[in-house]
Structure 1
Amino acid sequence: MNERLRRLVRIGLAVLLVVTGSAGWIVGQNEYALRERQVTITGGAQPLQGVLALPKRGHGPFGLVVFVHGDGPVDATHETFYRPIWEALAQAGYASLAWDKPGVNGAPGNWLAQSMDDRARETADAIAWARQLPDIDPDRVGLWGASQAGWVMPKVAAADPRLRFMIAVSPAINWLQQGRYNLLAELAAAHATPVEVDAALGRRERNLELLRRGAGYAEALAAGAADGMSAERWGFAERNFTSDASADLARVRIPVLLMLGGRDVNVDVADTEAGYRSHLPVPALLQIARYPNATHSLVPAWIENSGVLSTLVAVFAPRRLYTPGALTAQRDFVARVGG
């Protein structure tokens, strides 16, 4: 038996012992000081299937953090990944609201048919709905968003002066710059040769040429482009590839917590930090939290890069999925600026 196999056997035995002997402890680790309600958010283009997570203790009205998802078919809890954050925010006296993206879990609509403007309107409609709830203080509402939400939240914040704050996790400034950075980072991680890098950049430029002149999906396929995209994904790219947060950030005048991971291969965090410093009109309202060993999701790289460890931590200690200090930074920021 080689060392790698012995290691896997030891892990398997450890998991078996924990599962069979500590089921109660596991359940405890996955319980949160929250009162979750399934809600239907109305008033927008279509009803949204949501979860309202109230602090377990205390009486309302509570402040509210409205969650704006990143890319992909994300459900209201982000497959439970949001719950440790919701609990941290609850410690600051804030509830949290999130919803299934259109088309996810049977929700009406299709998230791939949305532009960033559509997503901003959807978020604004959800805020308007939540402000009418008796459990929510309409004047203490803030935003939380990750990744692609960086092109959505500034639009909402610029249009709604009543918002209290914005927490931006791993956002980008410019869609095209972010895509190029991500491509090059993935190629570097795969140890691609210079020839392979040039070929990948050439394919990317061919796709962009087609998008710039409004080529449809059929034309893109005929040109040997689209890089395995579905017709819906190509349409999503058509609607959004020119996105840039600069102008919207210049109109944001609320406190912003910008959270960045030093091991992010999706977003150029140096470019993001420079953009936020440059475009936000009131520098004193920007707080930056940097986590050198964290990934795009603010997970320690040594956990995220191991399938076994990721699974073990997610099951047995889900709060530890986040890099040390990330949850308390959000709690403390909201407690300080949220009133």
Structure 2
Amino acid sequence: MRKTIVRVLVVLTVLAVGLGVVTVAGNDFRFTRREVTFGGPQGSLVGVLTEPRGGDARGLVVMVHGDGPVEATQGGLYSPWFEAAADAGFATLSWSKPGVGRSAGDWLDQSMADRAAEVDAALDWAHAQDDVPTGTVVLWAASQGGWVFPRVVADRDDVAGVVAVGTAVDWLRQGRFHLLAGLDDQGADDDERARAVAESDRVRDLLERGASYDEYATTTPEADRMTRDRWGFVLRNVHADATEGLRAMAPRGVPVHLMAGEHDRNVDVAETERVYRDLLGDHVTVSTFDAVHSLARPVVEDVDVVGAVTAVVRPRALLAPGVLDDYRSALASMGRRGW
């Protein structure tokens, strides 16, 4: 009851404050934006290029999305990241995943190697444009992007740095961590935990032996069932492990800045930090925030109304305190290395 009352009070406070500041804070971000189109492995990809007002960018951030049907701007949620990059003197290139919006293809038909090839195509396109600043290239990789960026960095010599946001190392371990963290958050008892783990083990066994979707579907309740396309995507990527790619990129000495949320229930960020430090050594820096997986404030994820109101009224406030300042600082540091 006490927790519910506190949440209601928080909602009312956000609504009251938000309505008072909307005309002051608004969504007037400090960047310009234009649509871009380039060829990807599955066809034409449509995205955006944001730049500092005045057009004096000296470097480029390339967004490597996490899981799901991500649109180029994440419905506007990427705007604070675009703005922080612009403040640091960087343009940002982001595109809708294949099959999202007007981008051709199907993101569920991709492996992590396919996703890396897509980033390669974006980088090649950027270098071929006279009006895209590629003096310093930084990859911004979120969540699932942690299985993508090591492949790109290992195979190219034009990436000056990586900002990794809540990235994972091993697909199966990440899935188990997510399951257990979710059960903890729900206050599951021992019996509920045992049933959930047993079901997870059953599905993992099917994935390990490459079972057909029909076999999976006939033994899984409809409410818990993946779609056929999602099953294929997971089958294709279930053995994803960033370790080999990180080891391959290590000799290049590219700085990696890991940004992690203390309340991340999706990824074991402590494991990610440990593996990054073991394989990349002094080239890794880490910042931790009072935040969830997306680096948003915990209340934004825990109380839907707060997230919805904040996104409209003060979108910069979605992210935990210090996140955007830290991002700007990381880009500035990588920029000094590259320029």
Q: Output the TM-score relative to the length of structure 2.
A: 0.90
Partner-residue secondary structure (3-state), 2:74: coil
Is 1:109 equivalent to 2:78 in the alignment?
no
Does structure 2 conserve the Cα–Cα contact (< 8 Å) formed by 1:206 and 1:225? no
Is 1:93 equivalent to 2:89 in the alignment?
yes
**Deviations, residues 132-187 of structure 1 (Å, cap 9, x unaligned):** 11122334111001111000111111111221100000001100000001001111
Q: Which residue of 2 aligns with 1:265?
A: 265
Return the letter of the residue paired with 2:262. G
Distance 1:176 1:93 in 2: 38
Partner-residue secondary structure (3-state), 2:33: strand
Give me the CA root mean square deviation. Answer: 2.6
Gaps of 5+ in 2: none
Partner-residue secondary structure (3-state), 2:330: helix
Give the alignment partner of residue 158 of structure 2, picking from 155, 162, 166. Answer: 162
Q: Which residue of 1 aligns with 2:78?
A: 82
Could you say if the C-alpha distance between residues 206 and 329 of structure 1 is closer, same or farther in structure 2, counting changes exceeding 3 Å? same
Return the letter of the residue paired with 1:35. T
Could you say if the C-alpha distance between residues 329 and 21 of structure 1 is closer, same or farther in structure 2, counting changes exceeding 3 Å? closer
Return the letter of the residue paired with 1:288. V
* Greater relative contact order (CA < 8 Å, ≥ 6 in sequence): 2
Partner-residue secondary structure (3-state), 2:153: helix
Report 1:21-100 matches (<5 A).
24-25=23-24, 29-42=26-39, 44-59=41-56, 62-100=58-96
Which shifted more, 300-309 or 271-280? 300-309
Q: Which residue of 1 aligns with 2:189?
A: 193
Does structure 2 conserve the Cα–Cα contact (< 8 Å) formed by 1:166 and 1:256? yes
Q: CA deviation at 1:304?
A: 2.4
Could you say if the C-alpha distance between residues 230 and 9 of structure 1 is closer, same or farther in structure 2, counting changes exceeding 3 Å? closer
Does structure 2 conserve the Cα–Cα contact (< 8 Å) formed by 1:207 and 1:225? no
Does structure 1 conserve the Cα–Cα contact (< 8 Å) formed by 2:19 and 2:313? no
**Deviations, residues 193-246 of structure 1 (Å, cap 9, x unaligned):** 212211111111111111111111011122337941000010011000000001
Is 1:297 equivalent to 2:258 in the alignment?
no
Report 1:202-281 matches (<5 A).
202-224=198-220, 227-252=224-249, 253-280=253-280
Q: Which residue of 1 aligns with 2:286?
A: 288
Distance 2:170 2:6 in 1: 44
Q: CA deviation at 1:23?
A: 5.9
Does structure 2 conserve the Cα–Cα contact (< 8 Å) formed by 1:203 and 1:225? no
Partner-residue secondary structure (3-state), 1:168: strand
Q: CA deviation at 1:22?
A: 6.5
Could you say if the C-alpha distance between residues 30 and 225 of structure 1 is closer, same or farther in structure 2, counting changes exceeding 3 Å? same
Partner-residue secondary structure (3-state), 1:315: helix
Which shifted more, 267-276 or 41-50? 41-50
Does structure 2 conserve the Cα–Cα contact (< 8 Å) formed by 1:43 and 1:129? no
Gaps of 5+ in 1: none
Give the alignment partner of residue 143 of structure 1, picking from 117, 139, 143. Answer: 139
Distance 1:88 1:222 in 2: 48
Tell me the number of residue pairs that the alignment of Structure 1 and Structure 2 aligns.
332
Does structure 2 conserve the Cα–Cα contact (< 8 Å) formed by 1:170 and 1:260? yes
Could you say if the C-alpha distance between residues 95 and 328 of structure 1 is closer, same or farther in structure 2, counting changes exceeding 3 Å? same
Distance 2:188 2:16 in 1: 42
**Deviations, residues 17-66 of structure 1 (Å, cap 9, x unaligned):** 888887643xx520111110011112533110100001112435x31000
Partner-residue secondary structure (3-state), 2:60: strand
Q: CA deviation at 1:9?
A: 10
